[in-house]
Structure 1
Amino acid sequence: MPELLRKLLFWTFIAFLIFFMAFRPDGAAAMFKGIGAGLMAIFQGLGDFMTRLMT
C-alpha cells in the first residue's frame, strides 16, 4: 500500500473517531465497551487454553 494512501486512511480514521466521540458519545462509549469486552474474552480464552495446556 502506498505510504500516502496509508497516511490518508489513518488520519481519516482518527478524524472519524474524534467526530464520533464528540457528536455521539453514548454510541462511542458503547462501541469501546464492546471492543473491551471482546478483547477480555479473547485474553480469557487464551489464559484458559494456556492453563489447560500446562496441566
Structure 2
Amino acid sequence: MPPTVKKVLHWIVWGFLIYAIITNPDRAADIVGAVWDIISQGVLNIGRFFNNLLGS
C-alpha cells in the first residue's frame, strides 16, 4: 500500500478508537479487559508449554 493510504487508515482506526471510548467508555473498558485476559493467558500457556517441554 502507498504510504498515504496507510496514513489515512491509521487515522481512521485511531479516530474510531477515540470515538468508541468517548461514546461508551464502559464497553470499551470491557473490551480492553477481555483482550488483556486473552493475551495474558496466551503468554502463560506458552510458558507452561515450554516448561513442560523442558521437563521442569
Q: TM-score higher than 0.5 here?
A: yes
In structure 2, stretches of 5+ residues that fail to align are none
Segments of structure 1 that go 5 or more residues without pairing to the other structure are none
Structure 1 residues 17-45: Cα deviation after superposition (integer angstroms, max 9, x where no partner) = 11111110011001101100110111011
Residue 53 of structure 1: how far off its partner (Å): 1.2
4+ aligned runs moved over 6 Å, structure 1: none
CA RMSD of the aligned region, Å? 0.8
The TM-score with structure 1 as length reference comes to 0.92
**Count of matched residue positions in the alignment of Structure 1 and Structure 2:** 55
- What TM-score do the two structures reach when normalised by structure 2? 0.90
Distance 1:52 1:36 in 2: 24
Instruction: Tell me the percent identity.
Output: 27
